[in-house]
Amino acid sequence: MADDILFELLHSEIINYSLEQSKDNKEKKDMDLSVVEYIGFAAGYKIMERLTREWPRFKDELDTMKFICTDFWTCIYKKQIDNLRTNHQGVYVLQDNAFRFLTNFSNGHQYLEYAPRDIGIKMDSDGSKNLNHNIRSIAAYSIIKEIQELLGTLTLR
């Protein structure tokens, strides 16, 4: 429906814009996502305050992660995480088989290199949420075989 696509379009535009901005001042080739990341952080920071308001206190990390996979994900990406795995030592693997910001990419690999930048904002919104949970998180993402699939690894310290 319209309002969903609205957000997606806005999101992709934001990314394009910020990339444009970062292009001229930086000459280094790798994309400068700091702007996007900050947007993601601030947005995440604020939205988390609301989302977790009615929730009982999280018992532990796993509790937190569950929240991320369900409520948070649904709130932002209109779906839950498809697969959550953990080694119970602070490493969590989130897998989303139809990541909202990537589903619009055509099937195929020609967009592979652009994919990371679109993830930028997302990665950070939950990066921030983790921050909000006093958990320093290192999020590493890899796009796997289907471009719509997102594999995110959070290492919680």
Partner 1 sequence: MAVCVAVIGKDNSPLYIGGVGNDTSTDNELSRQWLVHTALDALEERLATTNTGNAGTNTNTARTDLRDLYLGLLYSTDTHKIYGYVTNTRIKLVLVTSSTSPSGSNIRDAEVRTALRRLHALYADAICNPFHLPGDQITSPKFDKQVKNIMMNNV
- Residues interacting with partner 1, by CB under 8 A? 41-42, 45-46, 48-50, 52-53, 55-60, 128, 132-134
Q: Nearest approach, Cβ of 58 to partner 1 (angstroms)?
A: 6
Strands 91-96 and 150-156: antiparallel
- What stretch of H or E contains 56? none
Choose between 48 and 115: whose C-beta lies nearer to partner 1: 48
CA distance linking residue 155 with residue 110, whole number of Å: 29
Q: Nearest approach, Cβ of 21 to partner 1 (angstroms)?
A: 19
Q: Nearest approach, Cβ of 72 to partner 1 (angstroms)?
A: 11
Choose between 29 and 157: whose C-beta lies nearer to partner 1: 157
Q: Nearest approach, Cβ of 62 to partner 1 (angstroms)?
A: 12
Choose between 64 and 148: whose C-beta lies nearer to partner 1: 64
Q: Which amino acid, residue 139?
A: A
Supply 23's token pair. Answer: 């292009």
Beta bridge partners of 91: 155
Choose between 44 and 120: whose C-beta lies nearer to partner 1: 44
Choose between 133 and 148: whose C-beta lies nearer to partner 1: 133
CA–chain centroid gap for 137, Å, is 12
Q: Nearest approach, Cβ of 60 to partner 1 (angstroms)?
A: 7
Output the CA–CA distances (angstroms, integers) from residue 97 to 19, 71, 94, 103, in the order listed. 26, 17, 10, 9
